[in-house]
Amino acid sequence: MKKIGVALLGLGTVGGGTYEILTKNREYFKKTQNLDVEVMQILEKNIKRCEELGVDLSIVSTDIDAVVNNPNIKIIAEFFGGIEPARTFLIKALEAGKSIVTANKELFAKHWTELEAAAKKGNAGLYFEASCVGGVPIIRTLTEGMQGNHILQIKGIINGTTNYILSSMSESGTAYEDALKSAQELGFAELDPTADVEGFDAAYKLSILSSLAYHKRVPLEKVFREGISDISVCDINIGKELGMTLKLLAISKCKNGKIEARVHPVFVPSTHPLASVSGSFNAVFLNGDAVDDIMLYGRGAGALPTGSAIVSDIIFAAKKETPDRYPFMEETEINDNDFISDFSSKYYIRITANDEEGTLGKIANIFGKNNVNLLSVVQRNSNKLHSVPIVFVTSATKTSTIKKTVAEMSKLAGVDAIRAVIRVEED
C-alpha cells in the first residue's frame, strides 16, 4: 500500500474541514483507494484551534522550513488564502519537489505563471480543484473529462454570495443592502464584501477556468468585471415581467481563436436552467464542439464541500505517476489581438424621461443614429409628475456602441437619468 505524507498550512474553516475528512476517512481511503494518507505536519499558530480539532500537538509548528525539509511529506495543502505568505511558502514547497493542493483562486489567478515555473523546477504538481466552484468538480471535468472537445463556451454562476443576494432580491423583494446584511449574518459574505459583490472572486475563477478550457493563458487583466452593488429590485422585477431573471454570470467564449472573458450582472431567460439556481448554489454550463452542453451544479463554498475538493485533489495527486502541470501557463508575453474586449451583447436599458411630446422620438433617433436596433420599448406609469420610466431592450450591440449611445442619450434635455444598463444573454 502506498503511503503519502501530507502537510496542512492553516487550520481555518476549510483547513479544519480537510483535517476532519482526512483523519475520519483514513481507513476508508486505505480500503477504497489503496492509499494510506497521513497528516504529518500542520502549520498553525492557533493552538486552541488545534486542540478543538483533536490534533496531536507534536505535529504542529510555525516553521515552513520544517515542513518543506521533511522528506516524508509529498503533498502540501494550503489554506491561508490571499497572496502572502501563501505565495512564498508554496513556491518554496514546489521548488523542493512537494506537490501543492490549494483553494486559493486569487493566488492562482495572479501568480500561476510563477507557480508553474517553481513546479517545473522541482518536478512537482499543481492541484487546485477547490479554487473554482467549491465542491463541484469543474476543473477535473475540463482536464480529465472533456479532452475530446474544443471548449467553445463557459457560462456560470460561480459566486455563491452574489447568487444568494440576487435570489433574495428576486424572490422576496429584499433591498440590496438588506440582502447583503443577511448574507453576512449567514456567513456567505465577509465583513468587507468587495471581493464578492464587485465580481473580483468570480473574475479570479473565470481566469483560471478559461485558461484551462482554451489551453491558453487568460490573464486576470483580460477579464472584464462589473459587480452587483448598483442593482435594484426595480430592475429585477421589470426583468421578471419581461420573462428574464438577473444573475451575476461568468462568461467566456472562444471564437475563431479569439477569447472573450467577462463577469457582470446579466438577464437570462427565466426558462434557462441557470435562472432556477437559487440561494448560495453554483452552476456552470460548458459547451464543447462534440459533447454540446453539460451542466455542473452544487455548493460552491463551505468547510466540507471545499474540503471534499481538497481531499479529492490530495488523493488524485498521490496516485499520479507524472505530476500535473500546465505548460501553456509559462507564456509571459500576451498578444492583445488574441482577446476580445469590445464584445457584443443585448442590453436592457432603463431611463427616466420627461413625459413630453417628442422626447421618445429624440431618444429613438439616437439609437438609430448609432445603428442600435430596439427589440422592445416599454413605457411605464410613474408617480412622479412629468417623469416616466422607459425600458429598452436592444439587439446584440458592441460595448463601445452602447457606451456612446447612453452618453448621448444622457445629454438630451428631456432625459432625467440613465437608471440601469444591464446585459442580456439568450443563448
Is residue 74 among the annotated active site residues? Answer: no
Torsion of CA 133, 328, 227, 376, to 10 degrees: -100
- The active-site residue, picked from 74, 155, 205, 346, is 205
Grid cell for residue 247: 444573475
Backbone angles phi, psi at 149, to 5 degrees: -125, 150
The bridge status of strand 387-394 relative to strand 344-354 is antiparallel
* Active centre residues (catalytic): 205
